[in-house]
Amino acid sequence: MTNGIPGAPPPDPKDLVRAQDRLTFLYVERCVIHRDSNALTVTDSRGVAHVPAAALGVLMMGPGVRITHSAVSLLSESGSTAVWVGENGVRYYAHGNPPSRSSRLLIAQAAAVSDPAARLTVARLMYQMRFEGEDVSKLSMQQLRGREGARVRRLYRTHSERTGVPWDRREYDPENFDDGSVVNRALSAANSALYGAVHAVIVALGCASGLGFVHTGNYRSFVYDIADLYKADLSIPIAFDVAALELEKGVGSEARTRMRDAMREARILATCVHDIKGLLAEVRPELVGGSSGDPRDDGDFTDDLLVEDLALWDDRGATVAAGISYSEGYEE
């Protein structure tokens, strides 16, 4: 009990780890998740493992998971994203509350998506990040899609030749994960892990996962936008490496383990934070500036937890303070 309030005290904001420095993800299934002080406990037939919630980016909970109220409370207080997924992580059911307390990046994202010129600018920048050394500033979306399709096909062929794993085409049926080829199963599992980490960063920054620039119409459109920036370096080569092992079982588990290690080594969370802020700063720099004033400055994750930006919109182009009575002069 703290200050008369029952239960374990929440973590001190200064003890929380910045979004870009956290563990990418933890996938669990068939276990019970509880809270021990400010750590999560994961209990299964093998015993109990303690997980520091303040350093966890996203907890992916698969089939057979039971989680207590106090554990969910700790995840929320720690700014960690809780995600409920299907077996092997290839279905995405729901996620918990975002840790960000500010809507600045969300406003910048919504403004950019709603302006066709700004949206095209961001979409071109996303493709530019994939096409090294190419100028795409004059290309239409149709031309960009064509180049991207050809690039991905070359990637698949390259890694097929490198590993000796046969490649025909990308097939993914979420209803029948085990019916796919080994390399397609590995791709699905690896991409799912990447989506989870990217989604965690997006909600940690206060952005909307459904407001995509290249993808549209799905509640994770922006997740797919950002994840596509990293597949060539992460999930695609890892999937072919896993397929080359010719495992009889555990393809999804092996792909997730390798993705976890690769994302940690590549510091994908920090990269994700930098790239999202950098893309939005190109069109709305006044809303994306970090603590140093540089729009591309990553800022501090704990700052977003502490900021109280709540205000009232004013039609004269400014905002006014919230929590104040403006009734003077308007009494009956």
Binding-site annotation, residues for Mn(2+): 148, 215, 228
Tokens standing for residue 62: 């698969």
Structural contact between residues 95 and 81, judged by C-beta atoms closer than 8 angstroms: yes
Going 112 to 117 to 122 to 126, the CA torsion angle's sign is: positive
Tokens of 237: 């080569």
> What 8-state DSSP symbol labels residue 213?
S
Closest by CA position to 208, among listed 136, 94, 118, 108: 108
Runs of H (alpha helix) within 56-140 = 69-78, 104-114, 116-130
**What are 289's two structure tokens?**
């500036």
Q: Which residue carries 């703290």 as its tokens?
A: 2
Do 126 and 223 meet the contact criterion of CB atoms below 8 Å apart?
Answer: no
Cα(61)–Cα(25) distance, rounded to whole angstroms? 10
For residues 104-121, b (16+ Cβ closer than 10 Å) or e, as one string?
A: bbbbbbeebbeeeebbbb
* Other C-beta atoms lying within 10 Å of the C-beta of residue 243: 26
Beta bridge partners of 319: 313
Residue 7 DSSP SS3:
coil
Binding residues: 148, 215, 228
Q: Are 60 and 28 in contact (CB under 8 A)?
A: yes
